[in-house]
């Protein structure tokens, strides 16, 4: 399954807002197949969330964001690079 990095512009979020968004995302995922949330990072300074997902296709990511009420700026297929790969 391809791995995607998603960018979401969210502005400054309170801890309560972060928790609510995470719960909505997980709740929607329970009814979907072919998509898995791996991890996310929040930058308060940038007002962005960066999310790593595995998904069969981009349409699943867009549908998940729409159903969970999450912003979706862009997504790119990525591959992991680990420092150990270069030793």
Note the pLDDT tens digit of each residue in 50-76.
Answer: 999 999 999 999 999 999 999 999 999
Note the pLDDT tens digit of each residue in 11-32.
Answer: 999 999 999 999 999 999 999 9
Long-range contacts of the stretch 76-80 (C-beta < 8 A, 24+): 76/4, 76/5, 77/2, 77/3, 77/4, 78/3, 78/4, 78/5, 78/52, 79/3, 80/3
- Whole-model pTM over 0.85: yes
Can you list the domains of the chain with their CATH numbers?
Answer: 3-80 (3.30.70.3090)
Q: Which residues, listed in sequence order, are joined to residue 77 by a DSSP beta bridge?
A: 4
């Amino acid at each position: 399954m391809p791995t995607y990095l998603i960018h979401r512009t969210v502005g400054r979020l309170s801890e309560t807002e972060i928790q609510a968004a995470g719960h909505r995302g997980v709740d929607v995922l329970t009814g979907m197949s072919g998509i898995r949330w791996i991890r996310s990072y929040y930058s308060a300074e940038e007002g962005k969330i960066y999310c790593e997902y595995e998904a069969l296709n981009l349409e699943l990511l867009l549908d998940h964001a729409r159903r969970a009420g999450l912003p979706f700026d862009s997504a790119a297929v990525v591959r992991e690079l680990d420092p150990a790969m270069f030793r």
